[in-house]
Structure 1
Amino acid sequence: MTYKVFIDGRSGTTGLKIDERLATRSDVEVMTIPDAARKDPKAKAEYINAADVVFLCLPDAAAKESVALLAPDNSRTRVLDASTAHRVAAGWVYGLPEISAAHRKALEGAQKVAVPGCHASGFILAVAPLVAAGVVPADYPATCHSVTGYTGGGKEMIATYEEPAEGGNKLPDSMLSPRQYALGLAHKHLPEMAALSGLQNKPLFNPIVGPFAQGMLVTVPLLPRLLPGKQDARAIHAVLADHYAGQTFVKVMPFGDDSVLDGGFLPATDCNGTNRAEIFVFGHAEQAQVCVRLDNLGKGASGAAIQCMNIVLGLDEATSLVA
């Protein structure tokens, strides 16, 4: 069977990557709307309702407008929204199947799927199994810092990093340093981070953008003295390893094995070009931290969207993706 796919926002970073990943598939026909009709609601509605699958790679307001173009009697077209607009909305399935068997089951045949945020994916993968197992209490005062490549900021941020180099100019020193942002502590991923992790409260979240294009490292520190039973780092690792055993795209790396590091360092870029998320646990009896490494444009965006599409359509989840 050939599935008709419409990418609304195809020229954006996520849309381009989805298009790239679908280009090798013989079971997909990507529908191309003429440039002159891209913002015409009537024309767009025709494409949306003619498609088997629609990817929304748009700002939140525009994504909501496109969803409203779905005909009331259309129960066939599957909509996968990569914006923040519907991640905690009623009637939408959150697209991170590794959270639980119930989440994976809900994706099968779902019509409306919210593709997770990149930072949120790392945080939820680290925390949700621990909360579900009672290792981390739901009222735990969680904190998280996440280092990401600049492509996560979209076209405008990409241009600020890449256009000076193309023009023969050097970046200012301030941009050669990792830069913290969203310092008002109201990052748009926070609602899903709390809701899908099982925590009662939003974590204190510190995102950081680095002077590299792609890659992400999400870190959640934990204090065993605040955990029921005072679980140490090795026990935390065991819970995560058991939860993710057999998953195609989420791998828990060996505990205490320095060979998983690069000369003692943990780079953010080693999952680039894949749909893989690697989970590391470091620490001892007094302190622990869970680190999740992923490609912010892969498992953090376009790869996750295609994985969700595959599950929704009843296909092998790894089709056209690299584990």
Structure 2
Amino acid sequence: MTHKVFIDGAAGTTGLEIAQRLEGRSEFTLITLDDAQRKDTAARREALNEADVAILCLPDDAAREAVELIDPAGGTRVIDASSAHRTADGWCYGFPELVGSERVADARRVSNPGCYPTGFLALVAPLVRAELLPSDWPYTVNAVSGYSGGGKALIERFENEGAPAFRSYGYDLSHKHLPEMKAHAGLDHPVLFAPSVVAAYRGMIVEVPLHLGAMANDPHSDELREALAAFYKGSAVVSVSRDPAPAELLLEPRAEPTDAMELFVFGNEGGWNARLVARLDNLGKGASGAAVQNLNLLCGLPETSGLILPAA
């Protein structure tokens, strides 16, 4: 069976990478619009309602408008890569490792996770569920991303002469990723989020520092590592490092794409201080790769088909 897919916003960074991952896959037929039709409401409405699955790679307001163009009585299912519906009623949060592949497969409306929340939630959500970490802790997140996550304007800024080496932002403490981090980790308080961008095209490191000795249940860093390893056992996408801690974690300026995510738990000698770290591709598991993973599930296909993953 061939599934018809329409990428609304196909000219953007995320849309382009999704299309690349679908190239040569006979299971899909892409519905495309030419440059003149991409902003034509009637043409988009027709394409959205013709598709078996519509993937929205749009700003938040435009994504909401696109959903309104879809006939609710029709057969179109939706994957929204924006942050418009990540905590909305009636939408499935598209993180199969956390919510369950079956739930994603059965959904009609799937909201792709944000790139930073993907790393944070992969680390924290399973440990809160297991009651190894408290839900009422004041969590902080320090994260650095490649500049491709900022779209065409930030890409141009970083690739022009005089580009910055480092950009820190979010100083109003109201980043759009905060609601989904709190909601999907099951936390009592919003996290304190410190995002930044470096002069690397792609890649991301998300870190959650923890003073475990100040927690009432006094968890040990080894417990956290073993719990994460058990939670993701058998996953082809998410891996937990159980080897001796590397001396450093790197982002390369021109790294190759990947849809995998690596998790690390670093602890001090007593195990009462820990740094939880996720390393992923902001355009892979943080965006386009996650969308393709969810698309596979919606279409009843093997979950990792077409993903860029390390050899088994």
Q: The TM-score by the shorter chain falls in which range?
A: over 0.9
Alignment of 1:151-190 (within 5 A): 151-162=148-159, 164=160, 169-171=161-163, 175-176=164-165, 178-190=166-178
Alignment of 1:1-323 (within 5 A): 1-74=1-74, 76-100=75-99, 103-162=100-159, 164=160, 169-171=161-163, 175-176=164-165, 178-255=166-243, 257-258=244-245, 261=246, 264-269=247-252, 272-284=256-268, 285-323=271-309
Runs (4+) of structure 1 exceeding 3 A deviation are 268-272
Question: 2-side partners of 1:286 and 1:154: how far apart?
Answer: 39
Question: 2-side partners of 1:232 and 1:117: how far apart?
Answer: 29
Number of residue pairs matched by the alignment:
306
Are 2:107 and 2:298, in contact at CA under 8 Å, matched by a contact in 1? yes
Are 2:18 and 2:288, in contact at CA under 8 Å, matched by a contact in 1? yes
- Paired residue secondary structure (1:229): coil
Question: 2-side partners of 1:202 and 1:147: how far apart?
Answer: 19
Structure 2 CA distance for partners of 1:52 and 1:148, relative to 1, 3 Å: same
Structure 2 CA distance for partners of 1:272 and 1:289, relative to 1, 3 Å: farther
Question: 1-side partners of 2:216 and 2:227: how far apart?
Answer: 14
- Residue type at the aligned position of 2:266: F
Are 1:143 and 1:204, in contact at CA under 8 Å, matched by a contact in 2? yes
Name structure 2 gaps, 5 residues minimum.
none
- Residue type at the aligned position of 1:15: G
Question: 2-side partners of 1:271 and 1:318: how far apart?
Answer: 21
Are 2:200 and 2:251, in contact at CA under 8 Å, matched by a contact in 1? no
Q: Normalising by structure 2, report the TM-score.
A: 0.95
- Residue type at the aligned position of 2:306: S
**What whole-Å deviation, never above 9, does each CA across 1:107-163 have from its counterpart, x for those lacking one?**
11211000000001000001000100001111011001111000000000000111x
- Residue type at the aligned position of 2:58: L
Structure 2 CA distance for partners of 1:155 and 1:54, relative to 1, 3 Å: same
1:289: how far off?
A: 1.0
- Paired residue secondary structure (1:29): strand
Are 1:86 and 1:114, in contact at CA under 8 Å, matched by a contact in 2? yes
Are 1:215 and 1:272, in contact at CA under 8 Å, matched by a contact in 2? no
Are 2:219 and 2:272, in contact at CA under 8 Å, matched by a contact in 1? no
Name structure 1 gaps, 5 residues minimum.
none
- Paired residue secondary structure (2:36): helix
Q: State the superposition RMSD in angstroms.
A: 1.4
- Residue type at the aligned position of 1:57: C
Question: 2-side partners of 1:309 and 1:20: how far apart?
Answer: 14
Are 1:233 and 1:283, in contact at CA under 8 Å, matched by a contact in 2? yes
1:200: how far off?
A: 1.2
Question: 1-side partners of 2:137 and 2:197: how far apart?
Answer: 26
Are 1:109 and 1:313, in contact at CA under 8 Å, matched by a contact in 2? no
- Residue type at the aligned position of 2:156: A
Are 1:271 and 1:294, in contact at CA under 8 Å, matched by a contact in 2? no
**What whole-Å deviation, never above 9, does each CA across 1:53-78 have from its counterpart, x for those lacking one?**
1110000000001000111311x211
Question: 1-side partners of 2:226 and 2:185: how far apart?
Answer: 18
1:228: how far off?
A: 3.9
Q: Normalising by structure 1, report the TM-score.
A: 0.92
Are 1:135 and 1:227, in contact at CA under 8 Å, matched by a contact in 2? no
1:265: how far off?
A: 1.4
**What whole-Å deviation, never above 9, does each CA across 1:188-219 have from its counterpart, x for those lacking one?**
11100000011111110000101111000000
- Residue type at the aligned position of 2:265: V
Fraction of identical pairs, as percent? 45
Question: 2-side partners of 1:321 and 1:8: how far apart?
Answer: 21
- Residue type at the aligned position of 2:52: D
